[in-house]
Structure 1
């Protein structure tokens, strides 16, 4: 199957999964049903502009149609995770998401008692949600601070300087979802 056929099949699959007819999508993007049918069958290659319109109408990012199927459903085995590091920290950080070329990054962070993610609170762009899996976590976000236990989570705007510290007697294990990716 050539690239046009793969692209067309992905568009058709997404359209059908949303119970949208060919003519409904064509109307939404200001094209004819005939044109869209040719795109879906791999007989016509949409321009980048047309592909953006299709992606917008279907509510998916344009890259959804451009990345290989294998990349969309990437399985990352625990022993194959990429290790990353915070500046000036000995914490263990593993990338749970496939890579940093996505719209979101998921990391597992392990801190020993008394250890912090950074020496001084640091900001980064985007938003973050952190879930405590094991141990006790102290987090400073701007002028506020919170203490969390296993099962607790916190969602915050990451552009506010923040810092995480293990205030427990055992290893702190947490999962953080960060968008957009920052490492």
Structure 2
């Protein structure tokens, strides 16, 4: 995620094929688990698809791996500045995500995203691996996690078990926030395996 040399389509194609093959899953079985059509999966694996946030997070849930395992390229060799203009946006029904950084420390993996919710639009997730952390920077955001609703304003922070169904709604203008996804390394099937490059996520 920190090396943005490849497109989201290219990186997702490479990593999706690898993850599916490692698990011995057919396109049909992955389609059943992810609720994504076989034709769409075939397009994604060939690099011709147009992945949405919903698609990537459904694949993360179905394959039981962090989003960055689908969207990551090799880590950089030195200091890296991520310029907003250089990062592709992954869009969903109500949110635009820009992947900023993947951090591995001890037995924990963190993914850092710039997250912008569009006014009066809902963003729903059936749930995915990890713990989700959100810090609101501007606007007001409603979050429903498993039927429990909270409202967040600038400076507010929330975290929750991301495997629970959850829904965001920008209730006051466009909402800017930082999203941090946290995983244990054992939530990855092959924690020691190098990430495929290049690559390209909830």
- TM normalised by structure 1 equals 0.52
Indicate the SS of the match to 2:101: coil
Aligned with residue 146 of structure 2, among 132, 142, 146: 142
In the alignment, structure 1 segments of 5+ residues that lack a partner are: 1-66
1:82 aligned residue: 88
Aligned length: 110
Give, in angstroms, the shift of residue 95 of structure 1.
Answer: 1.1
Structure 2 residue 180 is matched with structure 1 residue 173 = no
In the alignment, structure 2 segments of 5+ residues that lack a partner are: 1-73, 188-200
Structure of higher CA gyration radius: 1
1:158 aligned residue: 162
Q: Map 1:37-116; keep pairs closer than 5 Å.
A: 70=77, 73-86=79-92, 89-97=93-101, 103-116=109-122
Q: 1:154 to 1:68 in 2, by over 3 A?
A: closer
What's the RMSD between the two structures over aligned residues? 2.9
Partners of 1:69 and 1:107 in 2: CA distance? 17
Give, in angstroms, the shift of residue 156 of structure 1.
Answer: 0.7
1:54 aligned residue: none
Partners of 1:108 and 1:123 in 2: CA distance? 19
Partners of 1:116 and 1:78 in 2: CA distance? 24
Q: 1:130 to 1:98 in 2, by over 3 A?
A: same
Bigger strand fraction? 2
- TM normalised by structure 2 equals 0.48
Q: Is the 8 A contact 1:112 1:171 kept in 2?
A: yes
2:137 aligned residue: 133
Q: 1:179 to 1:82 in 2, by over 3 A?
A: farther
Which aligned segments of 4 or more residues in structure 1 are displaced greater than 6 angstroms?
none
Q: Is the 8 A contact 1:134 1:173 kept in 2?
A: yes
The structure, 1 or 2, with the larger RCO (C-alpha pairs under 8 Å, 6+ apart) is 2
Indicate the SS of the match to 2:154: coil
